Amino acid sequence: MSPRRALAALALAALAALPAAASAAPPTIEPGTLTVALNMPSDGFQVGAVRGREVVAARGYEIDLANAIATRLGVEAEFVHEPRFGSLLSAGAKPWDLALAQVSATDARRTAVDFSVPYLTADQGVLLSIATTARPTTIADLRGLRLCAQKGSTGADLIATTIAPTVPVLLPASTVVLTRGLASGRCEAVVFDAPGLTHLRSQVPTRYGPFAGVIRTGESYGAVFAKGNRLRGPVNRAIAALRKDGTLKALSARWLTSDLPRLPVLR
């Protein structure tokens, strides 16, 4: 063997000896850690305790999903709390790898951030206050009610574009204020993601009124990334694998209620 071929063989042997994980490590901000931003609380999806931006404890569909994605990537999940939902969707660099917060992927939002492939689809639900005497059966019936939605949400967009209420709308920034408003009667009805509302009411049925129903929107929830984040590809592959092996279906069965198919559709 010539000296040149011998050197080439040694170089190939050295490359082969490198750990496979070194070349396959996902491009996370912190090596070995998937930093996941949350917007707590959201019943069924992410509930627990926070201290500032620190997540002290968390459980729910999206918590288990984040851990499953991290396992697929070969890293550990670490959670941070982002109290302002709108911050998840603002343009620019992020101090986290991805965000999970029941964020619907829309064309308008894609101008500022990137999304993963969908991990869940959902419609908007309309939950009434216990003090609301009228039982709306159509979208038109909602227009005279004091409606509430989380600021910046697709529920807020739906109120403005489809319901077109005749009464001023309340748009709190947090889900905590939103659900308190419904429980107190300040909001006659809340428009929010249907899976979260059904879980909320199933936990404390005496605190809230009945469901008016759902408004079909067929929204797709996706993980949020800063534009151009190279982690999007590996996460997409992880979510696809979790769908294929039945994990996503199992998470829905564990954390979300089965009442949705029985709710009336408002038109």
Give one DSSP letter per residue of 79-108, joined into a string: EEE-S-HHHHTSSS--SSSEE-SS-B--HH
Closest CA to 65 of 260, 242, 224, 265: 242
| Whether residue 17 has pLDDT greater than 80 | no
For residue 206, with 0-12 CB atoms within 10 Å meaning exposed, 13-18 middle and 19 or more buried, which class applies? exposed
- At 147 the pLDDT is 98
**Cα 222 versus chain centre, distance:** 7
In a domain, 2, yes or no: no
Question: Which domain range does residue 156 map to?
Answer: 122-219
Q: Which residue(s) pair with 125 in the sheet? A: 192, 214
Angle at 103 between CA 120 and CA 46, to 5 degrees: 80
Q: Are residues 184 and 234 in the same domain?
A: no
pLDDT in tens, 116-137: 999 999 999 999 999 999 899 9
At 170, which CATH number? 3.40.190.10
Residue type at 21 in one-letter notation: A
Q: Are residues 202 and 132 in the same domain?
A: yes
pTM of the model: 0.85
pLDDT in tens, 55-93: 999 999 999 999 999 999 999 999 999 999 999 999 999
- φ, ψ at 211 (rounded to 5°): -80, 135
In a domain, 171, yes or no: yes
Q: Are residues 109 and 174 in the same domain?
A: no
DSSP 38: E
